Amino acid sequence: MADKETVIGVETRVAGEIRGEENLVVKGRVDGKIHLTQALTVEKGAVVQADVDVRALEVSGTLVGNVVASESVRLLASARVVGDLASPRLMMEAGAAYRGRVDMGDIEAARAAVAGRAVVKPATGAAETAVRARPAPPRIAAPPKMAALPSTKMAPKFVAPAGSERASGSTPPAAPPAFPRVAGSVGNVAPPWAKKKIRRR
Amino acid sequence: MANTVVGSSIVIDGEISGEEPLTILGTVKGKIAVTQNVTVEPGATVEADVEGQTVTVSGKVTGNVTAREKLELRADSKMVGNAKAPRIVVADGATFKGNVDMDV
C-alpha cells in the first residue's frame, strides 16, 4: 500500500507543491499545488487549498482551487468545492456544494469512452450537454424552416383569405354568432366596424 | 491508517507539518516539522530540515535533523547536515557528514 499510495494524514499539513505519478489521498490539509499523473482523493474532513492537475479527482472534503482532471471529477455528497473544473467527465452527488465554472471540453469523446455505462450522472453532465446542444441546432435548422414555410403553411392561408382572415382579424367573440344568421350574402354583409378595421390595415 | 506516507514517485516541494508519524519513500524538499516519528525509507531523498520525535534514516537526507528522542542512521543511509538529538544511533555502513549535538 505504501508503495502505491501516498497519504497526507489527518493531523498533517503540507504547504507547497506535491508532484508525482501515483495516487494521493489527502485526509489532512494541503496548501499549494498538486500535480499527479494518477488520482487524487480528498477525504471527508480534509482541506485542500490548491490548484489541482490530476487524472481523476474524487472529493468528499473541502477543495478550494482550480481543477484540471484529464479523466473525471467526482464530487460526493459531503464535498465542498470552490473553483473552476475542467474535465471530460463530471459526477456530482446530491448534497455536494460547488461554486465555479465547469468546462467538460469534448463531451462526445467522453461519452464514447464511457459508452454502455450510465456512469455519467445526469445531475450536471446532462444539464451541461443540454445547454451546449441548444445553441447549435437552431443555426442549422432555422434556414430550412423559413424556406419551407411559404410553400406549405402560407399557401393554405391565401386559399381562404376573405372569410377566415376577416373573421379572426376583427372580433372573434362577437362575430361568429352574427355571421351564420346573415348567411347567404357572404362577403358583402360584413358589418361596418369590420370593414373599418380592415381598411386601417 | 492515520499515518502520512509520501510515496516513492512523489515530490513535495514545501513544508510538511503535523502531529502524526511520517513515512517518506519519495522526495521532500523544504521543511519537515512533525511531533511524531519520521522515517526516511531506502530510496527516499530528503532535502530539508527535519524535526521529529524519533527520526530514522535509511535513505538520503541533506539538511539539519533535530530529533527530540532519537536519531537513527541505518546501514546504507546517507546524511549530510547537523544532527541534534539526545540519542544517536549510527549503523555500520551509514554515511554521515556534519556536526553532532547531543545536548551534553
Domain boundary among A111, A133, A155: A133
Q: Are B47 and B28 in contact (CB under 8 A)?
A: yes
- The pairing of strands B95-97 and A102-103 is unpaired
Q: Is A110 in the same domain as A21?
A: yes
Q: According to the model, what pLDDT value does residue A140 have?
A: 44
* A63-86 pLDDT, tens digit each: 999 999 999 999 999 999 999 999
Name the minimum distance, in Å, from the CA of B46 to any CA of chain A. Answer: 14
Q: Which of A4, A7, A21 sits opposite B4 (nearest CB)?
A: A7
Q: According to the model, what pLDDT value does residue A37 have?
A: 94
Judge whether B23 is closer than 8 Å to chain A, CB to CB. yes
Cα–Cα distance measured from residue A22 to residue A111, given in angstroms and rounded to the nearest whole number? 26
Which residues of B, range 66-85, sit inside 8 Å of A by Cβ? none
Q: Which positions in chain A have a beta carbon within 8 angstroms of at least one beta carbon in chain B?
A: 1-24, 28, 32
Q: Tell whether the torsion through CA atoms of A108, A113, A118 and A124 is positive or negative.
A: negative
Average pLDDT over residues B48-53: 96
Rounded mean pLDDT of chain B? Answer: 94
Cα–Cα distance measured from residue B23 to residue B39, given in angstroms and rounded to the nearest whole number? 5
> Quick one: DSSP state of residue A57?
E
- More confident position, B78 or A167: B78
Q: Is A34 in the same domain as A62?
A: yes
Q: Are B83 and B71 in contact (CB under 8 A)?
A: yes
Q: Which 3-state string (H, E, C) describes A119-166?
A: CCCHHHHHHHHHHHHCCHHHHHHHHHHHHHHHHHHHHHHHHCHHHHHH
- The pairing of strands B11-18 and A12-20 is antiparallel
Q: CA–CA distance from B84 to each of A38, B8, B66, B96 (Å)?
A: 38, 27, 5, 13
At B56 the three-state DSSP class reads strand
> How confident is residue A111, by pLDDT bands cut at 50, 70 and 90?
very low
Domain boundary among A133, A148, A163: A133
> How confident is residue A156, by pLDDT bands cut at 50, 70 and 90?
very low
Q: Is A34 in the same domain as A110?
A: yes
pTM of the model: 0.66
Judge whether B7 is closer than 8 Å to chain A, CB to CB. yes
Count of the separate structural domains present in chain A? 2
Name the minimum distance, in Å, from the CA of B70 to any CA of chain A. Answer: 21
Cα–Cα distance measured from residue A136 to residue A26, given in angstroms and rounded to the nearest whole number? 41
Q: Is A17 in the same domain as A48?
A: yes
Prediction ipTM score: 0.89
Q: Is A10 in the same domain as A84?
A: yes
> How confident is residue A185, by pLDDT bands cut at 50, 70 and 90?
very low
Q: Are A13 and A31 in contact (CB under 8 A)?
A: yes
Q: What is the extent of the structural domain holding A174?
A: 136-200
Single out the residue of B65, B61, B67 nearest to residue B94, CA to CA.
Answer: B61
A contacts of B1 (beta carbons < 8 Å): 1, 7, 9
Q: Is A45 in the same domain as A81?
A: yes
